[in-house]
Amino acid sequence: MALEKGTLIFADYTAKVKDTGEVIETTSADEAKKFNVFEESRKYEPRLVAVGEGWLISGLDAEVGKLGVGDKKTIELAPDKAFGTRDPTQVRMIPLRKFGEKEHELEVGDSVDVDNRVGIIRFIGSGRAQVDFNHRLAGKSIVYDFAVLRKVETDEDKVGALIDRRLGGESSKPTFEMSGADLKVSIPEDEFLIEGLQIIKRGISNDVFKFVPTVASLTFAEKFTNQKAQPKKEEPKPAEPSAPKPRKKKAAPAQTA
């Protein structure tokens, strides 16, 4: 049965450039190691997807909506359904002096920020740099090996998955309690200083209200603990030496008449 718009699923996939076989994204550590793109700092696990909600590139999103739970499919996307076709007007010549002190450090292939737009340097010469503001995968066909693992069914599972999507730490994770239509999310102390935490919290609340409509209110709790006031752990006492066992007395030699 095809997945309905707004359904939350967990999926595994690997995406490659059709012409070169370059792996551009994968949720599988085994696949990453197989194609020599494994990164120790990256978390490899099935990805949460809201079907038809723009969490995937447009062409892939449309194709996933045709699948069912347990389905596996190789999906080929033309450039206009993937990262777009190349636009010649997005290639500009920029004077090197615009890059300031970094002018003499630039090399072909570098990613640069120009007027809040990110581009890639394609050529340097005559005091100018040719900067390409097209997406690096524009004009390329992309092939996805996509598998729908499971559907997220219960409200509790949906809430947990939506929180983890935006605020899933490695060392500790937020916990939550649902009481009727009220939801309370407790953020671990080691995540208080995450950059953009308020924006993340707003994103979580928007997601929860959209995909779990039974939740009417959401409260975030941040608990600080005084480490100095924490009870000290008692160190195990050394085992007392056992008392020496009494020696057995030797029997007296028998006397002869």
Q: 41 and 77 in one domain?
A: yes
> Residues 6 or more apart from 224 whose CB is under 8 A from it?
189
Q: 53 and 5 in one domain?
A: yes
Q: 63 and 11 in one domain?
A: yes
Q: What is the pLDDT of residues 121-157, one digit of tens each?
A: 999 998 999 999 999 999 999 999 999 999 999 999 9
Which CATH number does the domain housing residue 119 bear? 2.40.10.330
| Mean pLDDT confidence for 209-224 | 94
Residue 182 reports pLDDT greater than 80: yes
Position 188 confidence tier, pLDDT thresholds 50, 70, 90 = confident
Are 144 and 94 a contacting pair, CB within 8 Å? no
Domain annotation covers residue 165:
yes
pTM, 2 dp = 0.78
Q: 37 and 146 in one domain?
A: yes
Range of the domain at 76: 1-85+137-153
Position 230 confidence tier, pLDDT thresholds 50, 70, 90 = low
Q: Provide the 10 A C-beta neighbour count for residue 111.
A: 10
Domain annotation covers residue 244:
no
Residue 254 reports pLDDT greater than 80: no
Position 233 confidence tier, pLDDT thresholds 50, 70, 90 = low
Q: 212 and 197 in one domain?
A: yes
How many separate domains does the chain show?
Answer: 3
Mean pLDDT of the chain: 89
Which CATH number does the domain housing residue 17 bear? 3.10.50.40
Q: 149 and 69 in one domain?
A: yes
Domain annotation covers residue 252:
no
Q: 66 and 14 in one domain?
A: yes
Q: Provide, rounded to the nearest whole percent, the portion of the chain with pLDDT above 70.
A: 88
Q: What is the pLDDT of residues 63-88, one digit of tens each?
A: 999 999 999 999 999 999 999 999 99
Report d(CA 128, CA 92) in Å as an integer: 10
More confident residue, 224 or 109: 109
Q: 80 and 14 in one domain?
A: yes
Q: 141 and 28 in one domain?
A: yes
Cross-strand pairs, 114: 117
Domain annotation covers residue 109:
yes
Sign of CA dihedral 83, 86, 88, 93: positive
Domain annotation covers residue 257:
no
Q: What is the dihedral of CA 186, 189, 191, 194, to 10 degrees?
A: 110
Helix (H, G, I), strand (E, B) or coil at 128: strand
